């Protein structure tokens, strides 16, 4: 079925309707229907787009989850009657089959050109059999069914008495359940994100540049952020804005719309300020001084959220005080709005607060402070006014709207202020669902006059400029025409210097690390997956032969035989031919001693592996194993042949196993379903990577019903990519690049020829080399650089056409994929302005972030890293003396090898940190490289224990320099349970690492803390060295040598390194 109704939710809400109806008394909110015999819900043709949502439509949507036009529902005490068309009856049949609280009878009307049924007469009889029926008496409907209904009623002599159902409907929908609250939170997050990341940013730009833009033009630009158009001309939502919001990754943009056109008002609005939600943005230009009112509301899956803000440019002291009063009043009402309080008491508390603080503002205060919001933008039954005695209940959601109107500024002009938020009522107080851009630091802007600027310039000519602190972010000076919009408040300049970008990153990173620790403990808790979902290693079982009869004939001679077919070596032992599978053999060696040649065959046995590799356990620890077998022979040539055969067979089997392991994740795609009825959309003249066999010629890509197909020029070769296997879709324009690219990153690799491919790329070269640069006849008639200018213009136009063609094709692919799979696929475009250089593989490349990934798409091997799969980013070799640093990305799947991006220029360190912080990736910072092999082994052995002992805190917390003092202590805690049988040579490596901390004080303090735990310095060095790369000790030593005499003087101070040397040397000389 196209429409799948939520039968469980519908039955729960039907039960709510009947329980409140049956238990209603004259004194509660359902008193209006207490004496009613039935409830009637009518609906006619759909309302126009510009009309507000009707209460009947909202109630029907609340009950059924969808709007069903021209459908009547009659509730009586024992039955539910539904009158609808045949097509709607198919969907509503689901409710009837879902075990409702009372029986449901669906009365189906006849189709067009069919004889009428008795459905309408039956429904009329059921209606007229009651004496008192509650219905929405104030609502009027139109449509064919409504006309037939009115004609049928006109023939009835005695009709039931009608009472208004609206108050009861409001009471039913006022208290929101968890499903409704979840949707409203999404609507609130959409509204807040739009305000913070677009409206306020755009408004600041308008003020800075004194741009001439009308109120309605600005409002129209805001509306475009969720996308416009339909079909081929459709433009999707602006993900540059929405990607910055919280919890908006899975938003259904088809169910997102504005409650009303955003309202922008300023002092130049010809009609004056209007605080009603029905106000409109005028065609007057936005004033660049005074009060600017903003109101925006968004609807998600039919549920509304609303907020409003007041921005004041160059405010007076009185305006500041009134705005601060609004903020404090809102906080006071948030404490007042709790379960059991009446709407009247909330409004009275607001008036009392104003009388106490500024009594002269009482006459300017709004007549109500909001109403319930949800499926209806404004529910008149729950208005927070002085006359409403209805009680507030937990999980009611209100549009809390505070404001003052008809205020006079210093020049005698009228202005207004408002502050609007969507809030949820709780047992003890209300909580905000919308937030942001509310504090005076966000909404109050101050202008310096031209005279002040002249004075400042005169002073600056006499006095030398004061140097700002280099470790802070200077105050951002914003210009609005000839004036300087210095800061948002009078104290903001000092605040912005003190609270630098680094401080903000540190604060945000502390939150991210705390959240990461909580999530890790919850994910790997003892009730969940404690030791990871990975089985331990074990011995594989091999069978060479099923019986003695399968042995080769060479075995009868009791000589060593190599059976390549069975991958077995047959060895004679005490008169028996004993087969050994090649996988049980570790290696073979041959030695000549005198007249004899010795052939030694070593077997795989537990307990013999040394070094970094793990030992493989065996099922029975008491078993006896043969480690090696040695044979002696005078035939040296035969042993040479056998040794070579065994070694070659071993290599062949290992190669086959490796290939099998590499191809384990390759999938076999389903057959591509070709499009029928029309020609597929094509992108001609494109090359593909990885390239197909044969001559390099361009082909074309086609969009079919279930995927893409690339055809080679002659049609001899093709590549099919199913939409269900596309993980990411990228479009990279040819701006400042030689190629224009549509790149597809797959969920699972596929085979292209004989190679495995995770990525498929279609590209075209943007440069045109098919013209003569040595001169032509045009130069006879032109002078100067006219021909070069024309060529540059042609090149620019050609690149624009290429970008447009490839982007349109990528958007069509995304649309077709979303239609085919049901999952939204967005076109991701790299942000070149955020790019940085690094070495993810062997060569230095430009890495570019996108909304969801970090990519390199220009040359193979390609790099595509999904950001939400990253657990933490570790910045390594971050030192003042080094020109480059490294970045290691650890994935949430701890079984994946961390990705190393090396040799990133240190000049881009701040850019990388800002980007990582903006996409909510926790990061750490350290002076040397970690040895990630043992670290990931320790984590995979027991993730829960890892997080219990502090998790990623051993990397240095949020990566701030001030937290480096705690590094050694957290490292000691992390390494306390590790294997302590490391060789003593690692003490030198540990001393180099220990001496590379930021300051002498932090080093000595860290060692004082660590020594309290009882470990001596040699022990600490061994533990630290285990997790760091020995190669870094060379780099650190070279860096120290380059520092020269300054460092040598520092070495005499009580650093960790200098203190560790005597202990290490005293332990034993080499």
Token output for 521: 């403990």
Place of tokens 């040479």: 640
Give burial (CB, 10 Å; 0-12/13-18/19+) of 26: exposed
Q: Are 55 and 168 in contact (CB under 8 A)?
A: no
Q: What CA–CA distances, in Å, run from 124 to 81, 117, 600?
A: 10, 13, 100
- Position 877 pLDDT exceeds 80: yes
Q: Which contacts qualify for 12-16: CB closer than 8 Å, 24 or more apart?
A: 13/62, 13/63, 14/63, 14/80, 14/100, 14/101, 14/102, 15/101, 16/172
Q: What is the mean pLDDT of residues 983-990?
A: 35
Place of tokens 């219905």: 135
| pLDDT at residue 173, as a whole number | 92
Q: Are 82 and 107 in contact (CB under 8 A)?
A: yes
Could you give the angle at which helices 119-128 and 144-154 cross, rounded to 10 degrees?
Answer: 50
- How many other β-carbons are positioned within 10 Å of the β-carbon of residue 668? 7
Highest average pLDDT, of 192-196, 234-238, 954-958, comes from: 192-196
Reported confidence tier of residue 1067, pLDDT bands at 50, 70, 90: very low
Reported confidence tier of residue 263, pLDDT bands at 50, 70, 90: very high
The H-assigned helical ranges of 337-436 are 343-357
Digit-coded pLDDT (tens) for 478-524 = 333 333 454 444 445 445 544 567 888 888 899 999 999 988 888 88
Give burial (CB, 10 Å; 0-12/13-18/19+) of 324: middle
| pLDDT at residue 824, as a whole number | 84
Token output for 528: 């969940």
- Position 996 pLDDT exceeds 50: no
Q: Please state, for a pLDDT cut of 70, what percent of the chain lies above it.
A: 78
Q: What is the mean pLDDT of residues 96-124?
A: 86
From 297, 296, 302, select the one nearest 252 (Cα to Cα). Answer: 302
More confident residue, 1050 or 559: 559
| pLDDT at residue 612, as a whole number | 41
Digit-coded pLDDT (tens) for 136-146 = 988 888 888 89
SS3 838: strand
From 283, 302, 292, select the one nearest 264 (Cα to Cα). Answer: 292
DSSP code of residue 476: P
Digit-coded pLDDT (tens) for 662-719 = 766 666 777 888 888 788 899 999 999 888 877 788 899 999 988 999 988 776 788 8
CA-based Rg of the chain, rounded to a whole angstrom?
A: 38
Q: Are 226 and 237 in contact (CB under 8 A)?
A: yes
Q: Are 78 and 70 in contact (CB under 8 A)?
A: no
Strands (E), 619-754: 628-633, 682-689, 699-703, 707-711, 718-722, 726-732, 739-752
Reported confidence tier of residue 29, pLDDT bands at 50, 70, 90: confident
Dihedral angle computed from the Cα positions of residues 754, 758, 763 and 765, in that order, rounded to the nearest 10 degrees: -80
| pLDDT at residue 1017, as a whole number | 60
- Position 578 pLDDT exceeds 80: yes
Q: Are 872 and 952 in contact (CB under 8 A)?
A: yes
Q: Rounded distance, CA 646 to CA 584, Å?
A: 12
Q: Are 850 and 729 in contact (CB under 8 A)?
A: no
| pLDDT at residue 617, as a whole number | 55
| pLDDT at residue 534, as a whole number | 45
From 880, 876, 852, 882, select the one nearest 864 (Cα to Cα). Answer: 852
Digit-coded pLDDT (tens) for 45-75 = 887 766 778 888 999 999 988 888 999 999 9
| pLDDT at residue 1050, as a whole number | 41
Reported confidence tier of residue 989, pLDDT bands at 50, 70, 90: very low
Give burial (CB, 10 Å; 0-12/13-18/19+) of 1047: middle
More confident residue, 688 or 1039: 688
Q: Rounded distance, CA 405 to CA 385, Å?
A: 17
Reported confidence tier of residue 1052, pLDDT bands at 50, 70, 90: very low
> For 319-333, 626-640, 838-852, 869-883, which range has the lowest pLDDT when averaged over its residues?
626-640
Digit-coded pLDDT (tens) for 736-777 = 888 999 999 998 888 887 788 889 999 998 875 444 445 444
| pLDDT at residue 701, as a whole number | 92
Reported confidence tier of residue 1019, pLDDT bands at 50, 70, 90: low
| pLDDT at residue 113, as a whole number | 77
Digit-coded pLDDT (tens) for 552-577 = 887 778 888 898 888 899 899 888 88
- Position 783 pLDDT exceeds 70: no
Q: What is the mean pLDDT of residues 207-226?
A: 90
Digit-coded pLDDT (tens) for 895-952 = 999 999 999 999 999 899 999 999 999 999 999 999 999 999 999 988 988 998 889 9
Digit-coded pLDDT (tens) for 161-177 = 999 999 999 999 999 99
Token output for 578: 């004993």
pTM value is: 0.49
| pLDDT at residue 274, as a whole number | 92
**Mean pLDDT computed over every residue of the chain:** 80
- How many other β-carbons are positioned within 10 Å of the β-carbon of residue 827? 21
Q: What is the mean pLDDT of residues 416-439?
A: 92
Strands (E), 68-222: 72-76, 80-84, 104-108, 132-135, 161-164
Place of tokens 């239609």: 819
């Amino acid at each position: 079925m196209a429409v799948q109704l939520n039968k469980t939710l519908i039955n729960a809400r039907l039960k709510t309707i009947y329980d409140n109806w049956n238990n209603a008394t004259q004194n509660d909110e359902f008193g209006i229907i207490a004496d009613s015999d039935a409830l009637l819900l009518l609906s006619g043709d759909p309302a126009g787009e510009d009309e507000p949502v009707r209460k009947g439509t909202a109630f029907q949507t609340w009950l059924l989850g969808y709007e069903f036009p021209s459908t009547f529902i009659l509730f009586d005490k024992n039955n539910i009657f539904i009158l609808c068309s045949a097509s709607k009856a198919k969907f509503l049949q689901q409710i009837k089959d879902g075990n409702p609280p009372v029986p449901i009878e669906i009365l189906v009307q006849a189709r067009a050109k069919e004889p009428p049924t008795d459905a309408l007469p039956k429904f009329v009889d059921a209606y007229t059999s009651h004496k008192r029926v509650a219905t929405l008496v104030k609502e009027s409907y139109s449509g064919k069914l409504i006309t037939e209904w009115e004609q049928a009623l006109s023939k009835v002599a005695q009709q039931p008495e009608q009472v208004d159902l609206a108050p009861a409907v409001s009471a039913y929908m006022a208290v929101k359940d968890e499903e409704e609250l979840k949707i409203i939170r999404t609507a609130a997050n959409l509204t807040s994100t739009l305000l913070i990341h677009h409206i306020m940013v755009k408004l600041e730009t308008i003020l800075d540049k004194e741009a001439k833009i009308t109120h309605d033009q600005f409002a129209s630009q805001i509306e475009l952020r969720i996308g416009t158009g339909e079909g081929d001309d459709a433009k999707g939502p602006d993900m540059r804005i929405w990607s910055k919001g919280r919890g908006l990754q899975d938003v259904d943009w088809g169910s997102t719309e504005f409650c009303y056109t955003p309202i922008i008002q300023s002092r130049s609005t010809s009609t004056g300020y209007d605080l009603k939600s029905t106000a409109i943005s005028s065609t007057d230009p936005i004033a660049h001084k005074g009060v600017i009112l903003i109101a925006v509301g968004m609807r998600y899956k039919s549920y509304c959220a609303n907020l409003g803000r007041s921005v004041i440019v160059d405010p007076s002291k009185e305006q500041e005080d009134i705005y601060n009063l609004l903020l404090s009043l809102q906080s006071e009402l948030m404490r007042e709005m709790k379960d059991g309080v009446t709407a009247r008491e909330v409004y009275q508390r607001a008036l009392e607060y104003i009388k106490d603080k500024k009594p002269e503002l009482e006459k300017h205060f709004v007549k109500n402070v909001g109403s319930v919001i949800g499926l209806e933008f404004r529910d008149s039954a729950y208005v927070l006014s002085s006359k409403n005695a209805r009680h507030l209940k937990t999980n009611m959601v209100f549009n809390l709207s505070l404001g003052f109107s008809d205020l006079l500024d210093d020049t005698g002009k009228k202005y207004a202020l408002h502050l609007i938020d969507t809030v949820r009522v709780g047992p003890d107080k209300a909580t905000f669902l919308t937030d942001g851009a509310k504090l005076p630091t966000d909404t109050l802007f101050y202008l310096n006059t031209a005279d002040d600027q002249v004075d400042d310039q005169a002073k600056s000519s006499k006095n030398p400029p004061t140097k700002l602190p280099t470790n802070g972010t200077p105050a951002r000076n914003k210009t609005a025409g000839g004036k300087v919009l210095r800061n948002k408040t009078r104290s903001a300049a000092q605040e912005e210097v003190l609270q630098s970008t680094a401080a903000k990153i540190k604060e945000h990173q502390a939150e991210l690390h705390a959240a990461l620790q909580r999530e890790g403990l919850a994910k790997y808790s003892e009730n969940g997956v404690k030791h990871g979902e990975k089985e331990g290693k074990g011995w594989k079982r091999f069978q060479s032969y099923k019986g003695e009869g399968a042995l080769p004939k060479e075995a009868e001679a009791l000589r060593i035989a190599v059976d390549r077919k069975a991958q077995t070596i047959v060895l004679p032992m005490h008169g028996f031919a004993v087969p050994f599978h090649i996988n049980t053999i570790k290696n073979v060696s041959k030695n000549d001693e005198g007249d004899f040649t010795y052939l030694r065959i070593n077997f795989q046995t537990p307990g013999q592996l040394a070094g970094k590799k793990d030992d493989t356990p065996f099922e029975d620890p008491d078993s006896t194993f043969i480690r090696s077998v040695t044979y002696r022979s005078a035939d040296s040539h035969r042993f040479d042949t056998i040794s070579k055969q065994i070694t070659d067979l071993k290599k062949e089997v290992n190669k086959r196993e490796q290939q099998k392991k590499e191809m384990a994740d390759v999938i076999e795609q389903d057959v591509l379903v070709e499009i029928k009825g029309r020609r597929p959309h094509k992108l001609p003249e494109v090359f593909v990577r990885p390239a197909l066999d044969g001559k390099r010629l361009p082909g074309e890509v086609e969009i079919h019903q279930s995927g893409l197909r690339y055809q080679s020029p002659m049609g001899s070769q093709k590549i099919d990519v199913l939409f269900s296997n596309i993980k990411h879709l990228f479009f990279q324009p040819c701006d400042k690049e030689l190629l224009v690219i549509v790149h597809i990153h797959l969920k699972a690799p596929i085979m292209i020829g004989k190679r495995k491919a995770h990525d498929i790329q279609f590209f075209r070269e943007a440069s045109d080399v098919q013209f003569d640069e040595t001169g032509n006849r045009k130069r006879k008639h032109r002078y100067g650089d006219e021909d070069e200018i024309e060529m540059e213009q042609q090149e620019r136009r050609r690149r624009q056409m290429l970008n447009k063609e490839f982007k349109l094709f990528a958007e069509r692919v995304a649309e077709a994929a979303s239609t085919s799979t049901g999952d939204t696929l967005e076109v991701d475009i790299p942000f070149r302005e955020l790019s940085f250089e690094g070495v993810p593989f062997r060569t230095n490349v430009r890495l570019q972030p996108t909304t969801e990934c970090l990519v390199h798409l220009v040359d193979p091997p390609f790099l595509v890293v999904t950001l939400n799969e990253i657990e933490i980013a570790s910045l390594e070799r971050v030192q003042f003396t080094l020109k480059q640093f490294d970045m290691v990305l650890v994935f949430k799947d701890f079984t994946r090898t961390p990705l190393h991006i090396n040799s990133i220029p240190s000049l881009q360190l701040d850019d990388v940190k800002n980007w990582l912080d903006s996409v909510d990736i926790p990061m750490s910072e350290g002076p040397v490289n970690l040895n990630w092999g043992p670290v990931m082994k320790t984590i995979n052995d027991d993730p829960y224990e890892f997080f219990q002992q502090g998790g990623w805190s051993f990397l240095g917390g949020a990566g701030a320099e001030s937290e480096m003092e705690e590094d050694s202590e957290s490292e000691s805690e992390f390494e306390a349970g590790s294997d302590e049988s490391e060789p003593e040579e690692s003490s030198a490596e540990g001393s180099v690492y220990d001496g590379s901390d930021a300051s002498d004080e932090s080093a000595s303090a860290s060692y004082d803390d660590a020594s309290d735990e009882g470990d001596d310095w040699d022990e600490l060095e061994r533990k630290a060295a285990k997790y760091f790369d020995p190669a870094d000790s060379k780099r650190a030593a070279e860096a120290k040598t380059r520092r020269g005499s300054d460092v040598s003087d520092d070495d005499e101070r009580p650093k960790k390194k200098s203190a560790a040397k005597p202990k290490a040397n005293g332990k034993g000389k080499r």
